Amino acid sequence: MNFLKNILSTLVALIIFSVVSILIFVAVIGSLADEPPVEVKSNSVLHLKLDKPISEVEFDNQLESLEFLPSAPSTIGLVQLKEAIVQAKTDEKIKGIYLDAPYVMAGMAVLQELREALVDFKSSGKFIVAYGEFYTEPSYYLVSVADQVFLHPEGDLEFNGLGANVTFFKGMFEKLDIEPQIFRVGEFKSAVEPFIRKDLSQENKLQINEMLSSINSNLLDSISTGRNISSDRLKAISDGMEVRNPQDAMALNLVDSLYYFDQVMSVLKQNAGIEEDKEIEFIKYNKYNKSYSNYKKADSEIAVIVASGDIVSGKGDVNTIGSENFSKEIRKARKNDKIKAIVLRINSPGGSFLASDVMWREIKLAAAEKPVIASMSDLAASGGYYMAMACDTIIAQPTTITGSIGIFGMLFNAKGFLNNKLGITHDEVATGEYSNYITMTRPLTDQERRIIQNDVEKGYETFITKAAEGRGMSVEAIKSVASGRVWTGIQAKERGLVDMLGDLEDAIAVASEKAGVSEYRVRYYPKQRSLIDQIMQDLEGESSAKVLESELGEYYNYVEQVRSVQRMNGLQAKWPFELEIN
């Protein structure tokens, strides 16, 4: 009887799986049906609607439109977005850009690269018009590049300086009767502070304050150029929060007019030479980038390998840098004779010290055979810097957050929680004195603590020794800027941790010069996952994460922070934990 039940259950499962597979297949084929070629009409306006997260390279989730299959959201790629702007600059059919970016989801360094591309576009004599019902501070930094900035008459413009928010969990652990056992080197290694404090240490306040001041100064200088207002005046406006309503923003010349949408459309028609009774030929970015090809035939290639996310051991995923897969990409690029140079595009807060060292070795091997250039994006801190220091040249944006050269380790003693809250007890039997020293069921002994602390200190010495070697500095000089201290790109360059300030294009130019090639094509790695891979991964982890996010709403970030602790196996080289800049 049980045998028949098992057979029947298996058959039912197979039928259900087959039906679901067919539904997915039909829906995918329907959604991927051949689209007609995109034609750009005369007097078109490129509509840059930045309503998705901006990632280093575009992630096009072809399953996103399938409502019955939760999946990771698509992103706007910085690389592809800049290519579209460059193309539009010389495209006779494009008269200008309509910048629709009230709330951009990107870091300051990414926004700076995008802003610089828009500055270059303006050199063509074509217009940029920006409009929003509201602007966040990062958004305003971006749109201030426009020839005309319009704000809704009842809208809002945030212009009151940068702030940082750090979440602390010590109180929660106290209530749960869980003891974090911390091991670290360096007074600035503040990634563990949320677990052992309820507020910021003086050292952490110092570095965050100096970092924010450096980033804010860079932002104000750029806005000053765009709006023709002195940086000192902008700082006074920001410090005093003189913008309290839309009328203040206009009176202070931060915006040009307070317009409704139809009024902005009239301005766009005038700028594009379109009669008032005619419609504007808008072409959205995701359509425009299908109207041209950047393919370039060349014997030589420069490989841009993107490293974005937390650093973990193993394969990783779309949101993490897995040492196994990343090392594989570096190895293939090293052995490929067509690839004359490598650019590492790093956007990472760090992570596993072991995984960082695994990748460091592969980068060093590649650098021994061909030029390897580091291009830092928003973040290249701790483990992210560990990767960069193996490169020939390090290039950062002024607002890049980098450094954080330090190590920490963490174990939780959950004995109180298990015993007092759940009534669970443990006992031990072991063949050796230290057989059970990695445990969460009791506090560590003094000797066990010394063993782990020695490992942390050894890891720190390895970090600074390799940093000194990579930067051509003495260990003492590296130590003076280490101890887990975080720097902006400007500060890092002043201290020898970075060679020059610039963007990804600058890094590619340096790579081609060092490789001695003038004719080359640029290719980005790793390549986007195939459709089948997307389906399988979305059916596994990513879909559950999206469902969880939809259920928890604003509390999802807190859950993610706690879940990230689970990834902190072994020694960690990571920057201050979940610092939110706003």
What SS3 class is residue 21? helix
Cα distances (angstroms) measured from residue 450 to each of 181, 183, 283, 444: 12, 9, 63, 10
How deeply is 430 buried, as exposed, middle or buried, from its count of CB atoms within 10 A (0-12, 13-18, 19+)? exposed
| Residue 169 DSSP symbol | -
Instruction: Based on the residue annotation, tell me whether 375 is a catalytic residue of this protein.
Output: no
- Whether 543 and 158 have beta carbons less than 8 Å apart is answered as no
| Catalytic one of 55, 190, 323, 382 | 382
The full DSSP string for 223-263 is: HHHHHT--HHHHHHHHHTT---SHHHHHHTTSSSEE--HHH
User: Is the CA virtual torsion 433, 438, 439, 442 positive or negative?
Assistant: positive
Amino acid letter for position 405: I
Cα Rg for the chain, rounded, in angstroms? 26
Between CA 35 and CA 25 the distance in angstroms is 18
Report H helices in 281-426.
285-288, 323-335, 353-367, 383-388, 415-416
- Whether 98 and 205 have beta carbons less than 8 Å apart is answered as no
Which residue in 318, 326, 373, 377 sits closest to 347, CA to CA?
377
Residues 6+ apart with CB under 8 A from 63: 28, 69, 71, 531, 534, 535, 538
The full DSSP string for 256-293 is: SEE--HHHHHHHHHHHHT--TTSPPEEEEHHHHTTS--
Paired residues of 106 in beta bridges = none
| Catalytic one of 126, 189, 340, 574 | 189
Which residue in 135, 140, 191 sits closest to 167, CA to CA?
191
Between CA 204 and CA 282 the distance in angstroms is 48
Amino acid letter for position 325: N
Phi/psi of residue 281, nearest 5 degrees: -85, 85
- H/E stretch holding 477 reads helix 475-480
Between CA 98 and CA 121 the distance in angstroms is 12
Instruction: Based on the residue annotation, tell me whether 527 is a catalytic residue of this protein.
Output: no
Q: Which residues are catalytic?
A: 189, 382
